[in-house]
Structure 1
Amino acid sequence: MGETGLVLTLGLFGLLAVGAPIAIALGLLTLIGIWMADLNPLIAAQRFIAGSSSTALLAIPGFILAGELMGAGGLSRRLVKVASAFVGHLPGGLSISTVGAGTFFGAISGSAPATTAAIGSIMIDELETRGYKRGYAAALATAVGPLGQMIPPSIPMVIWGVLSEESISQLFLAGVVPGLLAAAGFCVISVVYAKRQGIQGQPRASRGEILHALRDGIWALFAPIVILGGIYGGIFTPTEAAMVGALYSAIIGVFVHRDLQLRQLPGLLINAMRTTAVIMFIIVTAYGFAWVIASEQLPTRITELILGLTSNPLLLLLFINLLLLVLGAVMDNISAMVIMSGVLIGIGAQIGLDPIQLGAMVVINFAVGMVTPPLGYSIFVASSVSGMSIERIARHLLPFLAVLLIVVGLIAYVPAVTLWLPGLAE
C-alpha cells in the first residue's frame, strides 16, 4: 500500500472514530488524495458530479416521498388493521400483525429507517398496552426495518444496480424470498414470545370486521401492486415507479382517506428533500473517494489479498459475509457500498458468484448491519420513537438478529434463494 493509500485508510478510520460525519470525512479525504497525487483539484468536482449523474438515482427521492406520504396519509395504519383482522387472534397475533404491516410498508418505502419509524410510531404503544414489554416492541420495530431493504422496491438495491450496472428490476426480485423468509422467522419469534409471556391473542375478528378492515385498507394493499405490477408489467421503469408511488400515496391520502391535508404537503416535501439531500451528499462524496482509492489500485490489492487467504469458495463466501456484516454495523451503508463495490464485484467474478446473488448478498448484509448494535441506524430510530435506551432494545433484538443471520447464510450458500424468482421473470 502506497503513502496515499495509507493516509486515506488511516484517515477514514480516524475521522469516523472521532465522530466526523461520514460525508464530510469522505469529501475531505477525496480532496487530500487528489492533492497528494498532484492532480488538478477540479477533478474532485468532476467526480462528485459524476456520482450524482445516474438517472436511476432519481428513484430515491420518489420512494422516500412515498414513504412520507403513506405515513401521513394513514396507509400504514390501515395496513396494521388489515393484518390484525386476519391474525390478531393467534398467539402473538399483534406482533405478527406488526411483521405483516412492516412487510407491506417495506414494499413501498424501500427504506429500513422509514419502515422502523412508521411501524414503530403506530405499534410500540399498542404492543405495550397488550402486555408486550416495551423493549420487545421497540426491538420488533427495529427488526422489521430491514424488510424495507429486502422486499422490493429497495433504495439500496437501486444504488447497487447503478454501481454494478446490473438490472435493478432483477435485483428487486432477488430480495423477495429472503424478505419473506425473514418475515416468517419473525412470526415464529412472535408466537414463541407470546406463549412464554402468557400473552393471549385478541378476540377473533368477525367476518364483518374483516370485510371492514379490507374495505378501509384496500387502497393501501393496492399500493405495492401498482408499483411492482407497473415495473414487472413493463409499464414503467423503477425510477418512474417511485414517482408513481409518491403520486398514488398523495392522491389516496388527500382525496380518498382524507387523512392528509394539503397544508401538510410542503412539510412532507421538505422532509423528503432533507433525507434525499443527506443520502445524495453521502453518495457523491463516497463516489469521489472510491475514484481516488481506485486510482491508487487499493480495490485490486484488497481483492488479491482476500483471494490469497484461501482458494476455497465456501470459505471466501464466509469471509466476505463477515466483512460485510462488520462494515454494515460500523459504517454508513451507502458509503460502504460505493467504496467496496470494486472489491466485491472483483471477488464475485473470481469465485463465479452470480452478479444478482452478489447484489442481494451485499444489500441484505448491510440491511442487517442497520439493526446491529451499537451503531445500527434503525436502532437509533426505534430508540427515538420508543424512548427506550439502545441497550434495552439490543437485549430483545438478539433473536431477530439470529433469524436475519440465518437468512444471510441461505443467500450466500443456497443460490436459488435469490436467483429462483429473477430466473422466472427472464
Structure 2
Amino acid sequence: MAGGSFLLLLAIGVPIAFALLLLALVIIALGGNFVLLQSYPQQLFGGLENYGLLALPLFILLGEFMNSGGIGRRLMALALALLGPVKGGLAYVNLMANMLMASILGSTVAQITIMSRLAVPEMEKAGYPRDVSVAITAAGGMLAPIIPPSMMFIIFGVIAQIPIGDLFIAGIVPGLFLFAAFIGVIAWLGRRHGFPRTEPMPFRARLRSAVDALPAALIPAVIIGTILGGIATPTEAAAIASLMAAAIGLGIYRELKLSDIWPAFTRSAASSALVLFLIAAAQVFSWVITFENVPAQVAAALQAMTSSPIVFLLLLNLLLIFLGMVTDPIPAIILIVPVFLPVATQVYGIDVFQFGVIVCLNLTAGLLTPPVGTGLFTAALMGEVRAERLARLILPFFLAVLLVIVALILFPVLSLGLVEAMG
C-alpha cells in the first residue's frame, strides 16, 4: 500500500521530496501511530541540524567560482602538458582532466557540462570521432562522486551519521582503481577507432602550461591534503577552497569578475536549497520507517534468502542498477540507506564505509543509463549526439564500473585499507 502510494505520487509528477513527506504520513496512518505527528515538524527541521551539511553549499559555490574563473581550462592544459605524445593522447588527457576536476567539483552533471565545453571541441579538432569524444567525457564524469570531495558522499555520510572525512578517504583508492579501469577502456577504444597521436609539445610550452595551471592545481591539493592531514574538516576544506578559487579567478587569472560573485552565490543557494530540502524529507522518512521497524522486516526477508554478505551485496547491486535507471542518485540514496544500511552493518557485518562507496559508485553509473540518465542526456545535449548512440558507446565504461564494484565487494581492503591505515 505504502509503496503503491509512493509510485502513484511520482507518476502524477509530485516532486520526490514532497512524495517522501506524504509517504511518511501514509505509513503513520497505516500503522496507527498518530503520536508521531507531534514530532513530525521537529524531525523535518532537525534533519538539517548537521555540521557536515555545510560542506554541500560550499562545494557547490566552489564549482561556480571554478567554472567562471578559468580554472577548468588550466587543468585541461596541465593534463596535456603532463601526458606527452602518445597514441590517443587527448582521450587520456580528457580522462586525467576529469579526475582533476572530480577532486574539486564532486558533481557528475556539473563536471560533464564543463568538460563537454573544454574537451570535446579540442578532440574533434584533432580528428577524434565526435560521438566517441562525448562518450569519453561523459564516462569521465563517473569519477566525480567517487573521488573526494563528493556530493553523494556528503549526503550518504549525513544520513548514515558517519564522519564524512573518513568516507572521503575511503573513496580515494576505489577512485584511482576506477580511473585505471577507464584507462584500459580508452586503450581498447583507441585501437578500435584509430585514435590519432598527440603532437609533441616543446619543453618550454609544457613548462609554461604547468606554471600557468599551478594555482588551479593547488585547489584539489589543498582539499585532499587538509582532509587527509587532519588539518581541516571537509566543511572547512570546502570553505578554504572556495576562497582560493575566488582569489585565483579574480587576482591571478582575472577571468572571474566582481559582478560574477553575487550570481554565483544565488545559483549556489538555489541548488543547495533543493538538495537540503530533499535531505530533510529523507530524515523524516528514515525516522518513520525506523519507528515502524521496516529495516528489521527487510533484514528478516533477506536472511531467509541468504546468509552470505557477498550474495547480499550482489543482490543489493542489482536493485541499485534498476533504481539508477529510473531515478537520480540522491533520491535513490535517500530511499536505500535508511532501509538497507542497518541490515548491511548489523546483520551481515559489512563495514559502513565499504557499503557507502559501493552504493555511491553504483548509483553514479545510473546517471548514464536510460531512461532517466541525467548525465547521459546532459552529455548528449552538450555534445550534440543522439542519446541512444551515446548510451551504446558508454557501455564499455559501464562494464568497467561493474567490474570495479565486484572487486570492492570481494576485496573490502580497497575501500577500508586507507581509512584503517590512517587510524
TM-score, normalised with respect to structure 2: 0.94
- Taking the TM superposition and a 5 Å limit, the aligned residue runs for 1:155-304 are 155-304=151-300
Q: How far does residue 249 in structure 1 lie from its aligned partner after superposition?
A: 0.7
Other-structure match for 2:410: 413
Q: What is the count of residue pairs matched by the alignment?
A: 420
> Are 2:44 and 2:280, in contact at CA under 8 Å, matched by a contact in 1?
yes
> Are 1:112 and 1:149, in contact at CA under 8 Å, matched by a contact in 2?
yes
2:219, 2:392 → 1: CA distance?
Answer: 35
> Are 2:103 and 2:149, in contact at CA under 8 Å, matched by a contact in 1?
yes
Other-structure match for 1:25: 19
Residue deviations 1:325-363 (CA, integer Å, cap 9, x gap): 222332232232233223322222212212221121122
Q: Secondary structure at the match of 1:152?
A: coil
Other-structure match for 1:364: 361
Gaps of 5+ in 2: none
What letter is aligned with 2:380?
Answer: S
> Are 1:88 and 1:97, in contact at CA under 8 Å, matched by a contact in 2?
no
- Taking the TM superposition and a 5 Å limit, the aligned residue runs for 1:27-426 are 27-36=21-30, 37=32, 38-39=34-35, 41=37, 43-87=39-83, 89-349=85-345, 350-426=347-423
2:333, 2:191 → 1: CA distance?
Answer: 40
2:8, 2:389 → 1: CA distance?
Answer: 29
1:119, 1:321 → 2: CA distance?
Answer: 29
> Are 1:116 and 1:145, in contact at CA under 8 Å, matched by a contact in 2?
yes
1:225, 1:346 → 2: CA distance?
Answer: 35
Q: Identify which range, 49-58 or 82-91, moves more after superposition.
A: 82-91
What letter is aligned with 2:83?
Answer: V
1:15 paired to 2:12? no
1:298, 1:214 → 2: CA distance?
Answer: 54
Other-structure match for 1:3: none
Q: How far does residue 41 in structure 1 lie from its aligned partner after superposition?
A: 4.4
2:59, 2:367 → 1: CA distance?
Answer: 19
Q: How far does residue 131 in structure 1 lie from its aligned partner after superposition?
A: 2.4
1:12, 1:40 → 2: CA distance?
Answer: 20
What letter is aligned with 2:51?
Answer: T
Q: How far does residue 266 in structure 1 lie from its aligned partner after superposition?
A: 1.5
> Are 2:21 and 2:285, in contact at CA under 8 Å, matched by a contact in 1?
yes
Q: Identify which range, 405-414 or 41-50, moves more after superposition.
A: 41-50
Gaps of 5+ in 1: 1-5
What letter is aligned with 1:139?
Answer: A
> Are 1:160 and 1:337, in contact at CA under 8 Å, matched by a contact in 2?
yes
Q: Secondary structure at the match of 1:353?
A: coil
| Root mean square deviation, CA, Å | 1.8
2:271, 2:135 → 1: CA distance?
Answer: 23
Q: How far does residue 233 in structure 1 lie from its aligned partner after superposition?
A: 2.1
2:41, 2:3 → 1: CA distance?
Answer: 21
Q: How far does residue 212 in structure 1 lie from its aligned partner after superposition?
A: 0.8
Residue deviations 1:72-98 (CA, integer Å, cap 9, x gap): 111111111111123252111111111
Residue deviations 1:96-125 (CA, integer Å, cap 9, x gap): 111111101110112121211121221122
Q: Secondary structure at the match of 2:174?
A: helix
> Are 1:299 and 1:340, in contact at CA under 8 Å, matched by a contact in 2?
no
1:279, 1:372 → 2: CA distance?
Answer: 22
Q: Identify which range, 324-333 or 66-75, moves more after superposition.
A: 324-333
> Are 2:365 and 2:398, in contact at CA under 8 Å, matched by a contact in 1?
yes
> Are 2:169 and 2:228, in contact at CA under 8 Å, matched by a contact in 1?
no
> Are 1:31 and 1:44, in contact at CA under 8 Å, matched by a contact in 2?
no
Percent identity, aligned pairs only?
A: 35
1:354, 1:73 → 2: CA distance?
Answer: 40
1:385, 1:378 → 2: CA distance?
Answer: 10
1:160, 1:249 → 2: CA distance?
Answer: 26
> Are 1:328 and 1:336, in contact at CA under 8 Å, matched by a contact in 2?
yes
> Are 1:30 and 1:44, in contact at CA under 8 Å, matched by a contact in 2?
no
Q: How far does residue 35 in structure 1 lie from its aligned partner after superposition?
A: 4.8
Q: How far does residue 218 in structure 1 lie from its aligned partner after superposition?
A: 0.3
Q: Secondary structure at the match of 2:139?
A: helix
What letter is aligned with 1:160?
Answer: F
1:370, 1:303 → 2: CA distance?
Answer: 28
TM-score, normalised with respect to structure 1: 0.93
Q: How far does residue 132 in structure 1 lie from its aligned partner after superposition?
A: 2.3
Q: How far does residue 190 in structure 1 lie from its aligned partner after superposition?
A: 2.0
2:189, 2:214 → 1: CA distance?
Answer: 30
What letter is aligned with 1:81?
Answer: A
Q: Secondary structure at the match of 1:101?
A: helix
Q: How far does residue 420 in structure 1 lie from its aligned partner after superposition?
A: 1.6
